Structure 1
């Protein structure tokens, strides 16, 4: 809860019990593989190794205002397979346990406490589609907000999804104060299907009905975050801005425009230029919509770490499959 180091936490136990406890209880579900600190801004990427040998990543963001945010992963890989996402290109999708998700928070809190900082915001925007790991997500949220455990305010937790309508509604009913974010990226059905395969299963009209229901379910101060990745020549035209404004009209939302960091598995995609992003935002604001432009942190450490995660996990998954195949012969 307080971000104590392992040694400080053990010091809370009676002296005669510490060694036995440390020998018999594994304090962490994850092993810290590496930490990369940005030389450009206040971002730190943490790579963890699971007991199965896979790598996952978390990112600590230190905003200039002094606020801190942790971006956590809920899966290894992702079945959503969005065209712009490195995680979806891994070709695997495995759920993380509540202990593995929570240990990302524990170790990030410890890292921040060593700097005299506290974790403020927690976002499920790392590897994986959280609602494809729904049961473990809910167990994690319960632990995070429990006063006797992490005691993290639910209003400072955000769960991002590619758009599973029924799961979003279930989450809102169970955790009404937890914020939800929809990775929309286009208000045009055909365009959205091109970059998000799951859009074929969950069309835009169904998503919009779900958002309207979310607005009725959640508190008035809990808008749905609309995430919109700006892709040059794909979804950044004035017409695309008008389509987006029309689609969210009447909904309680906050639009977040996101710059695209290129990935090696999608060379056909490039990010919109700064002027295009700002013009797009101006069109939305002129339509009366709350809009912000996110400025990417940690770009200098993201590419190398993401490449390492993909390559290591592919190799581990192939070795595991080969071993299983041999055992069945």
Structure 2
């Protein structure tokens, strides 16, 4: 008996169609129902003659957390390899809904302020595992009579450390015969992989880019973002200039407000100078503490507001981005980290028991 086929696998679906001489309309209907309308698995496959040959999902939903504060939802998924990843649905007050997806298990960037970066592992997700996050979140929202408006690659992992699967994911998301999502509703956030940013801008010029800058001082940035040693600020500024030449829209600049780290008047003036002449939009982000970084604290709200006013006065487009789902995001990545480590220990112990040399 052959393995069930993923609807994301276009070549396998086409081979199945030809083998059984199916009318192409069956495939079009399946994709429209599943990828565009986000109908339930049963409904989407109801009239597909070979529905038993399909497997709609490669991820198993493990747990769901719903915020009591603002309607955000965190979804934990288990991969076929047994590892956990997370996606977050953000229901914005304006009515728009954003999905934050993961591109890796863990993250090799190891940023000081990020729980995911302290997991100690980094494994790339297959494009089908990234797309299934979108599909299952879309189905959840559709079941609530809601819609999925924006997709951001801001979850677990540095997206450009999984560049080939990221590109394939975006191709399927924007393909008219698949998800048919507008590229302008997709954003890829990076800590600053210069060459990949330029390649993304060239290949997908309408997809939005966000740079997690967090400091315009090289030594400070290196302390909180180890990858900054490889991609220094001068190089990143040139990268944004190049992206501005390719794309017509702004590059988002993410700036996490860390008390006594990057929120002084000197930091502000240095940031304004670094951004001068670039087509960018600055997002100031309040910091939610994590247990693995007790030495870091967030800037007070009034001080963030002062920082924002000053940046606007210096001619920088600036927004203070308020975090949603604080009651479920405060320990972002922590549960996943513990579960994955437990699984890895069990797996290693099992391998050791069955090793010929054991």
TM-score in terms of structure 2 length: 0.87
Correspondence for 1:85 among 114, 131, 136:
114
Correspondence for 1:255 among 279, 282, 296:
282
Distance 1:322 1:303 in 2: 32
Corresponding position of 1:232: 259
Per-residue CA deviation, residues 28-69 of structure 1 (Å, 9 max, x unaligned), is: 010011111100002000010101111100000111111000
Corresponding position of 1:117: 146
Is 1:151 paired with 2:186?
A: no
Is 1:270 paired with 2:297?
A: yes
Per-residue CA deviation, residues 101-151 of structure 1 (Å, 9 max, x unaligned), is: 000000010011011111110000000000000000000000000000000
Distance 1:29 1:296, change over 3 A: same
Correspondence for 1:294 among 321, 324, 335:
321
Q: Is the 8 A contact 2:116 2:334 kept in 1?
A: no
Q: How far has the Cα of 1:3 moved from its partner?
A: 0.8
Alignment of 1:46-195 (within 5 A): 46-195=75-224
Q: How far has the Cα of 1:92 moved from its partner?
A: 0.1
Q: How far has the Cα of 1:306 moved from its partner?
A: 2.9
Corresponding position of 2:31: none
Is 1:3 paired with 2:3?
A: no
Give the length in aligned residue pairs. Answer: 321
Distance 1:258 1:268 in 2: 18
Q: How far has the Cα of 1:303 moved from its partner?
A: 3.4
Which shifted more, 222-231 or 309-318?
309-318
Instruction: Say which SS state the counterpart of residue 334 (structure 2) adopts.
Output: helix
RMSD, matched Cα: 1.2
Instruction: Say which SS state the counterpart of residue 62 (structure 2) adopts.
Output: strand
Q: Is the 8 A contact 2:291 2:331 kept in 1?
A: no
Runs of 5+ consecutive residues of structure 2 not aligned to the other structure: 1-35
Distance 1:119 1:308 in 2: 26
Distance 1:198 1:246 in 2: 22
Q: How far has the Cα of 1:308 moved from its partner?
A: 1.3
Is 1:306 paired with 2:341?
A: no
Q: Is the 8 A contact 1:211 1:224 kept in 2?
A: yes
Q: How far has the Cα of 1:25 moved from its partner?
A: 2.6
Corresponding position of 2:236: 207
TM-score in terms of structure 1 length: 0.95
Distance 1:131 1:12 in 2: 39
Q: Is the 8 A contact 1:73 1:128 kept in 2?
A: yes
Distance 1:151 1:255 in 2: 29
Q: How far has the Cα of 1:323 moved from its partner?
A: 3.9
Per-residue CA deviation, residues 267-326 of structure 1 (Å, 9 max, x unaligned), is: 111111101110110111001111000101011012356321110011222333444455
Distance 1:328 1:81, change over 3 A: farther
Runs of 5+ consecutive residues of structure 1 not aligned to the other structure: none
Corresponding position of 1:244: 271
